Structure 1
Amino acid sequence: QPKCLGTQDNLKLKPYQLVGLNWLRTLHTSEVNGILADEMGLGKTIQTIAFLAHIYEKKVSGPHIIVCPASVVSNWNREFSQWLPSLRVVVYHGSQKERAQIRSEMHDTSSWFACTRVKVLLTLSRDVVVTTYTCFEREAGKQDRAFLRSFNFKVMILDEAHSIKNAGSSRYRHLLHLTCERRILLTGTPINNNLPELLVLLQFLMPELFDPDDEVESESGNLARVKMRQKGCSCSHLLLSHQKVNVERVKKMIKPFVLRRCKCDVLGELVPKDQQVIQKEISDYSDFVLHQMCQDHKRLNKLSLKVQSIFPAIRPSHLFVQPEDISSSAKLRKLEEILPRLQSEGHRVLLFSQWTTMLDIIEDFLIDKDYLYTRLDGSTAVKERQELLDRFNSDTSIFCFLLSTRAGGMGINLTAADTVILHDVDFNPQIDRQAEDRCHRIGQTKPVTVIKLVVQETVD
């Protein structure tokens, strides 16, 4: 373990985290990029900070850049202050005015020396820039991208790197144009849908080795090719199809560049996780309403589009869903049954839904039942997100945390809860796994229960 790591609180890496650190060291020494793909909750953030501490001790000059979802910016900043306070972290995020101010401070050498919050990036080797994917996916981020491209970063780290699984996206292309010497990708789900997604990540890491111009897989599932270039030998081709994949050949090809450990392999003391699928029959009234909605959809679709053009806040579902339809929901009735029991037994709940409109309904339900709760979704300001997480983790009187699956399902730590309720399951099971592991991770001391609510004969 690097001497400068965890000195304030005498923090120590776990044995498997030291293995991860040594793997990253080996990659760096060999001048190779890689993917740290440990299962969610094993501390990829800490292992990465340990690696930066190692190269800092080896006098490798910065700056480095970390790109992550907005929901985990505060967590990165906090982990640096706890584990490696000797590195000065610049959080490049905020409103357009705030980002302009940071750019001004970073370009104005005199203000760099006077500023303690953002300390001389251009003259200090031990600095890290933490920013979000937003800068690399919108037209409004043009200035941000031009500014970040002006730096020669030593190490670029992408957290939740499965976010760049689409090689045709603007996010992928813009990140590819950042100047850096080494690239490290962090993801607990390197494959969300199919194997070619992993190969896209490898192409991003090493375009000189994995040819980015070759097709990976067509939407129709036809055979595709990925060209692997090797020095001193002829090109080899990996054939992929939905029907047959040479798994052993794929493993052999990616083994030097990907490290993945599962919790069951490295954490023998980790608390168990119990999964329950609660299936409910749709009520006669809900079945009638659902049938009517399907019948009326085509007729009302044109009307709803016209109404939306006049009143954009109105969504199509609001045109034909009535309060009595909601109150008949089999899932809400099940929540009404299980939440009192969970509260009386001292459990605390993370309640996920894919839809913010559904979270609105559940929120009204919790208010009506006098449950203390907090809520985080995509509309929650980034500055407020860490405060919400801290409040829930420290205040045991808060019984329930409402989260949208996408915004609250990645990269955050909520080990104060021991029960996860998935109100609606995602079409991609990996997304649900990400959500479940918000509380089933290092630091959890209680057995974790995951409850999936499913209504029979519906899209569930």
Structure 2
Amino acid sequence: MSLNRLKETLLPCSSSSGQSQSQPRSPSPPRPPRRPPKTSLSQQLLRLEASYSLPAPPPSPPKPLSQKAAEDAAEQPTSSSEEDVAPRLRRRPAPPPAASFEPRGPYEPLVLSPPGEHPVVQVPPSINCRLLAHQRDGVRFLYNLYRNNHGGVLGDDMGLGKTIQTIAFLSSVIGKDNNQGEKSTDKGKKSSPVLILCPTSVIRNWENEFSEWANFSVAVYHGPNRDLVLEKIEGQGLEVLITSFDTFRTRDKVLCDISWELVVVDEAHRLKNEKSKLYTACLGITTRKRFGLTGTIMQNKIMELFNVFDWVVPGCLGDREHFREYYDEPLKHGQRLSAPERFVQVADKRKKHLVSVLKKFLLRRTKEETIGHLMLGKEDNIVFCRMSDVQKRVYRRMLQQPDIQILVNKDLPCSCGSPLTQVECCKKIEPRGIIWSYLHRENLDGCPLCPFCLVLPCLVKLQQISNHLELIKPNPRDEIEKQKKDAELAAAVFDTDIELVGGSAKSENFMGLSDSEHCGKMRALERLLSLWTLQGDKILLFSYSVRMLDILEKFLIRKGYCFSRLDGSTPMNARQSLVDEFNKSPSKQVFLISTRAGNLGVNLVSANRVVIFDPSWNPAQDLQAQDRSFRFGQKRHVTVFRLLGAGSLEELIYSRQIYKQQLSNIAVSGKIEKRYFDGVQLWTS
């Protein structure tokens, strides 16, 4: 074929079906001159001007038919025919790039200062018009604390906009507007900057929110240019400084020498341990205006409440021993299943008193109370998965190991005839135990905690077996001694089933790892995924173990599911693109994600099914995992499935989660909780 002939075959088809391909196409009419795009602020002003010029009726809502058609088009599975999809896409207008820029209120300032007080402190109109009703209440709460010269805690659920409320509050204190960057109040004359402490993973989110909501002078004290940032502070050219917990912990002496107007700690539950280096470093901040942001103010123990609030508002709950005797012990004893009536009455009085004190410094709101009318609800389900026959045999062998037997029999009479129990007499150490021998390889006489030093390692092994047998095999990334210990323990508990599970060494066999035959949870997951994908649902699949994520990834590949993955090793600059792709692409069916990974930008509202493959001792981690999907912007009913190994340790983990959630509801919200448990409350976390 000649070159000219090839060019003729590549000529584009004309718009008319009757014309031949060889005929030249008629020239297209000239395009109108392109208008410059309007900014989101100018669009808001135009809409506001139109609404004020026609004060009679508000703009009519969209027709139900078109709204229903739009929803049907959004939820309809992807069609294989492009002719069916293209017309629908042309008829539907493109969604706005950022929902947060849509006006949610009148274009007027939010006045925070009392009537008659000067100067007037207010949130500028450009920010106030985009706030929801509960967010305005949160801004008022923060300013009232600031005006009284002390701090407090904003304890809203994840997804209610704690960051936005904080920025709106700072705009009133500093006096910033988003339009011209001018001072809106005399409060802007303050020269002391604001300090924001947050996890490293959310520094970029804070930067982006500041740039989108107001015109602040913001710098990040993190990385190699820290000295330049300090020079800018000394020159009073900086209004907000953002730094990470790790950086502040190592550079606390330098940062605590600066006179801060106020300090904001994001994820304030990180201050729950008074012995941590971060808590000690934060005590050096001199300002009294200390603010905390957290959706899980209490995660494990009531004493965590004292640690957080004693830093935010020192002395508001008395001293440590007073809080322990007056609140902690009565509430715990009153929550026992077998608690006497007088204990219950004392606990109820102390609960009401604690809630009344905390209300002065804490604003706690849930999604149901604030934006519940905008969402279709959430359903939480517990799925007890029967372990496979191999898992059951391995689990029983693990229970028979000397390391676990010494803990099981610790309260039995000693076999030597002594009136003491075994743990008090001859069974403090267990040289035959594989785990004990490894932990005390440098001290064969044991440690002061023996045998209770075995509790956590043994619980970890039991939970690994209930999830997947591959998890108890040695990890090549560990040190040699630990690999030897794990290989020896795996060989002991596998016993005659060692060939069935691919040996005691870590396996990378694709067909073996992706097979659900020897894993009860993967069997249940296989049935759930096959049902949901046929219905067009999108699924979030969580696990706290990276090794389990690797196994689940092979399982999804074998089953042919299109998925994305995010864990701690995913680069920060790639996370948002993964989230956006999953939310926008109808072909993405599953998002495989670590329970511990993620930040403020991980908003997966396109998913309506959430699976937590392995429960955590800390219920806050599982609740935060659910909130990745159940948050503002979710248009479908969210169903959560927590997979538990039936008859395994995970049933007790779930019982412990319920008990911790009950304590949190009692101490923080003052709710009345039914007493379910007695023994689990004495477990260590």
| Shared fold, TM over 0.5 | yes
What do the CA deviations read for 1:115-153 (whole angstroms, capped 9, x no partner)?
A: xxxxx444456632222222355xxx3xx3233224222
- The structural deviation recorded for 1:51 is 0.4
What do the CA deviations read for 1:207-262 (whole angstroms, capped 9, x no partner)?
A: 24444554654xxxxxx258xxxxxxxxxxx9745113311111121121111122
Q: Is the 8 A contact 1:6 1:83 kept in 2?
A: no
Structure 2 equivalent of residue 45 of structure 1: 163
Q: Does 2:26 correspond to 1:26?
A: no
What do the CA deviations read for 1:404-432 (whole angstroms, capped 9, x no partner)?
A: 22233878422232221100112232321
Structure 2 equivalent of residue 251 of structure 1: 355
Q: Is the 8 A contact 1:62 1:128 kept in 2?
A: no
Q: Does 2:254 correspond to 1:147?
A: yes
Query: Which of 56, 68, 78 pairs up with 2:174?
Result: 56
Q: Does 2:424 correspond to 1:301?
A: no
Structure 2 equivalent of residue 169 of structure 1: 276
Higher relative contact order (CA 8 A, sep 6+): 1
- The structural deviation recorded for 1:282 is 1.5
Q: Is the 8 A contact 1:11 1:83 kept in 2?
A: no
Query: Which of 386, 405, 417 pairs up with 2:595?
Result: 405
SS of the aligned residue for 2:374 comes to: coil
Alpha-carbon distance between aligned partners in 2 of 1:309 and 1:421, rounded to the nearest angstrom: 33
Q: Is the 8 A contact 2:386 2:645 kept in 1?
A: yes
Structure 1 equivalent of residue 639 of structure 2: 449
Structure 2 equivalent of residue 368 of structure 1: 558
Q: Is the 8 A contact 2:155 2:364 kept in 1?
A: yes
Structure 1 equivalent of residue 213 of structure 2: 83
Alpha-carbon distance between aligned partners in 2 of 1:239 and 1:310, rounded to the nearest angstrom: 45
Structure 1 equivalent of residue 245 of structure 2: 133
SS of the aligned residue for 1:347 comes to: coil
SS of the aligned residue for 2:196 comes to: strand
Counterpart of 1:316, as a letter, is: D
Identical-pair percentage? 33
Q: Does 2:303 correspond to 1:196?
A: yes
- The structural deviation recorded for 1:173 is 0.8
Alpha-carbon distance between aligned partners in 2 of 1:148 and 1:388, rounded to the nearest angstrom: 35
SS of the aligned residue for 1:271 comes to: coil
Q: Is the 8 A contact 1:89 1:129 kept in 2?
A: yes
After TM superposition, the structure 1 stretch with the greater mean CA deviation from structure 2, 173-182 or 195-204, is 173-182
**Residues 162/355 of structure 1: CA separation in 2 closer, same or farther (3 Å cut):** same
Q: Does 2:367 correspond to 1:263?
A: yes
Q: Whose strand fraction is larger, Structure 1's or Structure 2's?
A: 1
Structure 2 equivalent of residue 436 of structure 1: 626
SS of the aligned residue for 1:75 comes to: helix
Q: Kindly report the root-mean-square deviation, in angstroms, between the aligned alpha carbons of the 2 structures.
A: 3.1
**Residues 295/148 of structure 1: CA separation in 2 closer, same or farther (3 Å cut):** same
SS of the aligned residue for 1:403 comes to: strand
Q: Does 2:350 correspond to 1:160?
A: no
Counterpart of 2:381, as a letter, is: Q
Q: Does 2:574 correspond to 1:388?
A: no
| TM-score normalised by length of structure 1 | 0.81
Unaligned runs of 5+ in 2: 1-108, 111-121, 176-186, 335-346, 404-432, 442-473, 495-500, 503-511, 651-685
Q: Is the 8 A contact 1:331 1:423 kept in 2?
A: yes
Counterpart of 2:199, as a letter, is: P
- The structural deviation recorded for 1:40 is 2.2
SS of the aligned residue for 1:242 comes to: helix
Query: Aligned runs of 1:272-351 on 2, under 5 Å?
Result: 272-295=377-400, 298=403, 300-301=434-435, 309-310=479-480, 316=486, 319-320=490-491, 322-323=501-502, 327=516, 328-351=518-541
Counterpart of 2:252, as a letter, is: R
What do the CA deviations read for 1:249-301 (whole angstroms, capped 9, x no partner)?
A: 11121121111122222222222112222222122222123223444685543
What do the CA deviations read for 1:44-92 (whole angstroms, capped 9, x no partner)?
A: 11111110111121314442122222332222222222222x0133233
**Residues 134/270 of structure 1: CA separation in 2 closer, same or farther (3 Å cut):** same
Q: Does 2:184 correspond to 1:14?
A: no
Number of aligned residue pairs: 419
Counterpart of 2:133, as a letter, is: P
Of structures 1 and 2, the larger Rg is shown by: 2
Query: Which of 51, 74, 82 pairs up with 2:204?
Result: 74
Counterpart of 1:102, as a letter, is: N
Structure 2 equivalent of residue 230 of structure 1: none
Task: Give the 4+ runs in structure 1 shifted more than 6 A.
Answer: 302-307, 311-315
| TM-score normalised by length of structure 2 | 0.56
Alpha-carbon distance between aligned partners in 1 of 2:566 and 2:174, rounded to the nearest angstrom: 36
Query: Which of 103, 106, 117 pairs up with 2:226?
Result: 103
What do the CA deviations read for 1:93-118 (whole angstroms, capped 9, x no partner)?
A: 3xxxxx2x22132245xxxxxxxxxx
Alpha-carbon distance between aligned partners in 2 of 1:278 and 1:384, rounded to the nearest angstrom: 33
Q: Is the 8 A contact 2:217 2:237 kept in 1?
A: no
Alpha-carbon distance between aligned partners in 1 of 2:531 and 2:245, rounded to the nearest angstrom: 41
- The structural deviation recorded for 1:331 is 1.0
